[in-house]
Structure 1
């Protein structure tokens, strides 16, 4: 069968609050973000596992506040103009992975934290782990990270997991059969990372085999521990 190619989506991702799946697992994060601009010292860290909506919430906050977004793990960047950022809301995404990029080293992060709360400035940092677990070679940065107010997104419940599943299919340009959602939700591990990995595997198999994304494909591609109830 000839190889099939899916055209990439042209619509940008939607980061608004209305499209976010609220649940008890992200209530602390929602309340923490909504407390802005009354954050202690103008700073907050938003942390939680991959795929649980940290970027969604952070980008919504950035849009609402007019914040400058800085991708800490990106490469090929010119140095930040700290003077131009003073007094502004700032979002630093993946601050715990800053060593992978060339934009936010320890000294720069130290200055960004110190700038928060000054002249109306504020700072939102995102990461998978709490700041106390982030690497920091600069002693003064270590103390600043340890003192940050933290809002956590917990491991997802079924409400969030289904939202992650649907967004992952949308991002891949896949329109699965309607009965696939309850089928996968009943079988996939309760982890956003596992859900994202499952969608990636189905996407690859669908393209390689020229097949529709449905229960039969899921049964042939994903390991459900001997489940044989996948035929249409």
Structure 2
């Protein structure tokens, strides 16, 4: 039987609970999200570096709570049309959400017009920029859940999932080869798998150590520029 070749398929966006990769880096965040009915002030900020699972967890939470998800850039426009008595999640609230609209939304949560408000961000809320003193005070006091960069066990499970999402065949032992040599972040893992898949497709080969070595050396060269 011939070797199974890389198919070059785009990754499938799967935000189901079954596809989420659990680990110590996200355990406390998952626990905090599960307790959404008891958030102090009905608000929680979920923050962490890019690619650590904020969007995935937000979609899981929205399904669990029957909530609505909007991106921060749309908050001012959609504020008045948000359904009442329904949980709301605002993604990228730290960089793109209108501050007056954000303050208004947090007030609605505090006064129980919204049963729960989830805000996602890369930075801790105390570091967000705002000229509204009351909002600044609120952000310093709000409850938070932090997502950390992954350890080896989580990275290994993540790589396996990313390869499966792309239906990218690989040789046995490839993940063990990659772990000590790759960038230690979720976002780095995503970029690496994409590059490996692209290189294997160009060479009409499954992903092997030779391809992995070339891709890793190429990434190192880019990092040195």
Under TM normalisation by the shorter chain, which class is it? 0.7 to 0.9
In structure 1, what is the equivalent of residue 8 of structure 2? 6
In proportion to residue count, which structure has more helix?
Answer: 2
In structure 1, what is the equivalent of residue 21 of structure 2? 21
Mark the CA change 1:120 to 1:225 in structure 2 (over 3 Å): closer, same or farther. Answer: closer
The CA RMSD over aligned residues, in Å, is 2.7
Q: Would you say how many aligned residue pairs link Structure 1 and Structure 2?
A: 214
Equivalent positions of 1:114-133 (< 5 A) are 114-117=107-110, 118-133=112-127
Equivalent pair of 2:168/2:206 in contact (CA under 8 Å): no
Give the Cα–Cα distance (whole angstroms) in 1 for the partners of residues 114 and 90 of structure 2: 17
By relative contact order (CA 8 Å, sep 6+), the higher-ranking structure is: 2
Equivalent positions of 1:1-232 (< 5 A) are 6-8=8-10, 12-16=13-17, 18-73=18-73, 79-98=77-96, 104-117=97-110, 118-223=112-217
Equivalent pair of 1:33/1:61 in contact (CA under 8 Å): yes
User: How far did residue 148 of structure 1 move?
Assistant: 1.1
Mark the CA change 1:135 to 1:225 in structure 2 (over 3 Å): closer, same or farther. Answer: closer
Give CA-to-partner distance per residue, 1:181-228, whole Å, 9 cap, x none: 1211232232222222222322332344443322110011213999xx
User: How far did residue 90 of structure 1 move?
Assistant: 0.6
Secondary structure of 1:188's aligned partner: coil
Give the Cα–Cα distance (whole angstroms) in 2 for the partners of residues 28 and 5 of structure 1: 37
Give the Cα–Cα distance (whole angstroms) in 2 for the partners of residues 174 and 109 of structure 1: 42
**TM-score relative to the length of structure 2:** 0.82
Unmatched segments (≥5 aa) in structure 2: 1-5, 221-225
In structure 1, what is the equivalent of residue 3 of structure 2? none
Equivalent pair of 1:51/1:164 in contact (CA under 8 Å): no
Give CA-to-partner distance per residue, 1:99-123, whole Å, 9 cap, x none: xxxxx31121111111114135210
Equivalent pair of 2:91/2:120 in contact (CA under 8 Å): yes
